[in-house]
Amino acid sequence: MAAYSPPLDDFAFLLHDVLDVTASPVPGYADLDRDTTAAILAEAGRISRDVLAPLNAVGDREGCRLENGVVRTPTGFREAFAILRDGGWPGLDCDPDYGGQGMPYVLHTAAGEMQSAANMSFAMYSGLTHGAYSAIHAHGTPEQKALYLPRLVSCAWTGTMNLTEPHAGTDVGLLRTHAEPQADASLRITGQKIFISAGDHDLAENVVHLVLARTPGAPSGTRGISLFIVPKFLPNPDGSLGARNAVSVGKLEAKMGIHGNATCVMDYDGATGWMLGPENGGLKAMFTMMNEARVQVGVQGLAQAAGACQLAAAYARERRQGRAIPPADPGAPADPIVVHPDVRRLLLDQRSFVEGGRAFALWVATLIDAHARTGDEDALALVSLLTPVLKGFLTDKGFDSCVQAQQVFGGHGYIEETGVSQFVRDARIAMIYEGANGIQALDLVARKLGMDGGKPIMAFFALVRAFLKENDADSGLKSDFLDPLKSASKDLQSAAEFFVQNLKTPDAALAGATDFLHLFGHVCLGLMWARMAKAALARDDAFAKAKLATGRYYMARALPATALHLARIRSGAAPLMALPADAF
């Protein structure tokens, strides 16, 4: 199997040629000069390549084991986690007051892509910890912050998020886990949570569960849910570990992929917990973690596609079958399969998605930084709008992209030893967790589209229009990039208008929600490709030429999908709702 190769040139191009980070007024960005970002990402890439990637197949093959109530991670995970921790990587963008390095989130995102591409199951342990850090940072009391944050930042302790119960997944308002107040301000948590990623393991000395539950007399539905901190070991005020809490692993799930991550049934049997944030405000507090997780999961989708695409490209350059007309290598018995148009189609579908998706993810990360570091509410509104698109589009297309990588391998792709099947199996979960992609689409059309009178989507369209106008005279961009972007953006506007005109039929928007999300995703990647093309045209090297060729492919072959999505949206709700429920 080809070794993982960190996309350092691409990160440099995106951060500097495209996003021009040092020119940004966002605090901390001025320090992100080319040398600094290159040094940080090279080291993150080295660890991903040399430490994490070699354990990816190991994790898949061995999986996790539940032994005497404790989860054992696959061979090598403990040592690798120690290396990650020693390098301070989990706290790269965390608050320096709690031991973090205070770097912008955009670097954390780039490093996260590499870790996830190298070993998704492994990267989830620190990824979920980061989410727990953010939730406690935003909603914790000073004491909670002092106790938990330094240990989560360093990954001495790790975090989890506990929402789902057997009968309450998407519909979290149905959850039944309850919390009984105690005299000492703690509560006793009782209930069962399922699908808890990184729910238990041997990588860290403590696991901090953030658990949604109801207090006595709480309103029904989502308005009666509170969030609790429930550690595996009860910490003493000095952070040393006390008694084992009454939370245990009921079962490890056998899954299609991410075998290296422990997906647990967690049983809370009067476990001691402390409320995080206000009573009945638990869902809002959890959404601090959830929104961040959704961006991370979008990056996971992209990362799996990136890793699989590397394998496929390497295989296509080496594997010799058939002939180009005329032969590319007449002296050999056959040409490398990269000469064949249909193999190139598979590779370019993947690559144009990966590079466009990477640009999209980093751009959204700069918006997250802008809000976090300057309080820019417009940036936050755009992030809110784009989060479901990023999560849904990058994971749907990321999975498709892994499937295409597998196809390049032919029969060898179906055999586990080539490694590409694992990318397909691992990538599949990203379309499901942190809100299945149908829920992302619902969030987008039912909440985000009309948010604040539609201001965020108007702001997005204004960005596209401004770019088109600003570069209208650029003949290198015009027909290959600007015209297709304009047409795709018009499709997006027509779709949004269709929803507005059909407000009285809520099903019309819901019926078109997934198509709208994909339409939006294509326009985002189209905008990214147009911006990248502009930056590439300012250079004259092989990297820039390849970038332009890849971008032209995306605009010519992928972006026309917007018209199909619009056609489907306009077909309305009737084709979906005609069949009575019992006829399914």
Q: Which is nearer to a second copy, 110 or 339 (CB)?
A: 339
Cβ contact 131:209 at 8 Å = no
Provide the mask over 209-248, with x wherever binding to a second copy is found by CB under 8 A and - wherever it is not.
----------------------------------------
Select 99 or 169, whichever has its Cβ closest to a second copy.
169
Instruction: Tell me how far, at minimum, the Cβ of 567 lies from a second copy, in Å.
Output: 4
499-518 positions binding a second copy, by CB under 8 A: 506-507, 510-511, 513-514
Q: Which of 23, 243, 473, 578 binds a second copy (CB under 8 A)?
A: 578
Closest by CA position to 292, among listed 443, 459, 129, 425: 129
**Contacts of a second copy in 470-489 (CB under 8 A):** none
The structure tokens listed for 460 are: 């997005």
Positions in 9-68 near a second copy (CB under 8 A)? none
**Residue 90 found at the interface with a second copy (CB under 8 A):** no
Cα separation of 56 and 53, whole Å?
Answer: 5
Tell the smallest beta-carbon distance from residue 395 to a second copy (Å). 11
Q: Are 39 and 28 in contact (CB under 8 A)?
A: no
φ/ψ (deg, to 5) at 243: -70, 155
Q: What tokens does 85 get?
A: 């921790």
| Helices marked H in 319-331 | none
Stretch in the footprint of a second copy (CB under 8 A) among 1-9, 206-214, 222-230, 409-417:
409-417
Q: How far is the CB of 554 from a second copy (least distance, A)?
A: 9
Helix (H, G, I), strand (E, B) or coil at 223: helix
* Residue 438 contacts a second copy per CB under 8 A: yes
- If the CB atoms of residues 8 and 436 are measured against a second copy, the closer one turns out to be 436
**Part in contact with a second copy (CB under 8 A); list of ranges 14-22, 293-301, 309-317, 378-386:** 309-317
The active-site residue, picked from 416, 434, 470, 497, is: 434
Instruction: Please state the closest distance from residue 307 (CB atom) to a second copy, in A.
Output: 15
**Does 421 help bind a second copy (rule: CB under 8 A)?**
yes
Single residue of 27, 239, 281, 560 touching a second copy by CB under 8 A: 560
Q: Considering only residues 363-402, where is the footprint of a second copy by CB under 8 A?
A: 399
**Contact indicator for 113, 71 with CB cutoff of 8 Å:** no
101's tokens: 């390095």
C-alpha 354/C-alpha 336 separation (Å) is 23
Answer yes or no whether residue 1 interacts with a second copy by CB under 8 A.
Answer: no
Given 29, 89, 125, 433, the residue binding a second copy (CB under 8 A): 433
CB of 514 to a second copy, least distance (A): 6
Q: Which stretch binds a second copy (CB under 8 A): 29-37, 83-91, 165-173, 461-469?
A: 165-173
Minimal distance, residue 163 CB to a second copy, in Å: 10
| Distances in whole angstroms, Cα of residue 312 to Cα of each of 214, 263, 418, 421, 426 | 48, 29, 10, 11, 16
Q: Using the rule CB under 8 A, is 288 a contact of a second copy?
A: no
208 touches a second copy (CB under 8 A): no
**Binding range to a second copy, per CB under 8 A, among 151-159, 232-240, 432-440, 532-540:** 432-440
Among 135, 338, 382, 488, contact with a second copy (rule: CB under 8 A): 338
Task: Count the Cβ atoms, other than its own, within 10 Å of residue 481.
Answer: 29
Left, alpha or beta for 28 (phi > 0: left; psi -120 to 50: alpha)?
left
CB of 252 to a second copy, least distance (A): 11
Cβ atoms of 181 and 216 within 8 Å: the answer is yes
Question: What residues does 70 pair with on adjacent strands?
Answer: 67
Residue 167 lies near a second copy (rule: CB under 8 A): yes
Q: Which two tokens stand for residue 364?
A: 């959204």
Question: Rounded to whole angstroms, how far apart are CA atoms 142 and 43?
Answer: 34
- Count, residues near a second copy per rule CB under 8 A: 94
Residue among 256 and 462 whose Cβ is closer to a second copy: 256
Whose Cβ is closer to a second copy: residue 317's or residue 447's? Answer: 317
157-162 vs 206-213, strand pairing mode:
parallel
CA distance 274 to 209: 11
Round to the nearest angstrom and report the end-to-end CA distance of the chain.
44
Report, in Å, the least distance between residue 548 CB and a second copy. Answer: 8
The residue from 132, 389, 424, 535 that contacts a second copy (CB under 8 A) is 424
DSSP 41-108: HHHHHHHIIIIIGGGHHHHHHH--EEETTEEEPPTTHHHHHHHHHHTTGGGTTS-GGGT-----HHHH
Min dist CB 257 to a second copy, Å, is 8
Give yes or no: 434 in active site: yes
Residues belonging to the active site: 434
